[in-house]
Amino acid sequence: MSAREMMGAEVEAFAGALKKASRAADNTVTNYRRDLLAFRSFLLDRAAVLGKRVDEIDVASITADHVRSYLAELMKNKAARATVQRRLSAIKAFFRYRETTIGAASPARTIRSPKNERRLPSILQEDEVRRLLEFSSTPDDSTPASLRDRAIFETLYSSGLRVGELVGLDWRDIDEELGMVMIRAGKGNKDRLVPLGEPALDALKKWKTAMPIAWEHDGPVITNLRGGRLTTRSVEKILQRRIEAAGLAAGLTPHGLRHSFATHMLGNGADLRSIQEMLGHASLATTQRYTHVSVNHLKEVYRRAFPRV
């Protein structure tokens, strides 16, 4: 078996083991596989540049210098730190798997990940969210596409869902009477219940009635107009078109709506623990990082709560 096949086969074996053993989300497995194959391509290209036959590269020949060179190449090409960090995580996980299964020492064990940039997603102010949700790009707001898009934006903002969680929803996950949505096996494979506001529930009901392909109890909530489940990329494009048409600042992503939800909840008096529960964060530190806390808000909380002011 050639090295090209060897590394590809080992990556596939690792991806299969990851999915089976840790019940990792499909996105995690897909991303790890893609990142490892990108590392493999770098090694093959590097061998060709050095005048070696590309089929002489095998996994056992990979050293810490190879990994460092790859990370340096990514940074030279202006890759985001988060991207470099994620790719190193995939490489480390791959070599840990080899260490466990065949006892091969990991060349990436001592390589430290670059510190992540603490940049926060763009958010909208409350009046800007209102403009986004109420904006109409067509004279007729009752078309299936318009009703679906309204349901997308209202639900994302109302619940703070990740876009992957939104597109993964089935109608059985929404309890209209309780005004709650069940997120099944979200990030970290944890189910959670999240409240939905009346505007979101109303938008979902209208979309449900207008769906071109009749809804089913176990069927997807957010679909294209042919009845297929919408992709995360499609939601991003729909949001981008709405942002531009409404004349709002560019750069907002679906995750920015989640961030806006958390920021506005905090600003209106919600406690961090409740926001943590709704967002599905394992750590409160993550929730703190995803919320803007203004100095004035902190001062006001302090003034009201501390007895000696």
- Which residues are catalytically annotated? 162, 187, 255, 258, 281, 290
Using N-to-C axis directions, what is the helix angle for 64-76 and 26-49, rounded to 10°?
100
91 CB-near residues (< 8 Å, 6+ apart): 35, 36, 39, 67, 70, 108
Where are the strands (E) in the chain, listed by range? Answer: 174-175, 180-183, 192-195
Q: Do residues 206 and 161 make contact, with C-beta atoms less than 8 angstroms apart? A: no
- For 227, which DSSP code? S
Lateral strand order in the sheet of 192-195: 174-175, 180-183, 192-195
**Dmax (CA) of the chain:** 75
**Unique residue bearing structure tokens 């009346």:** 198
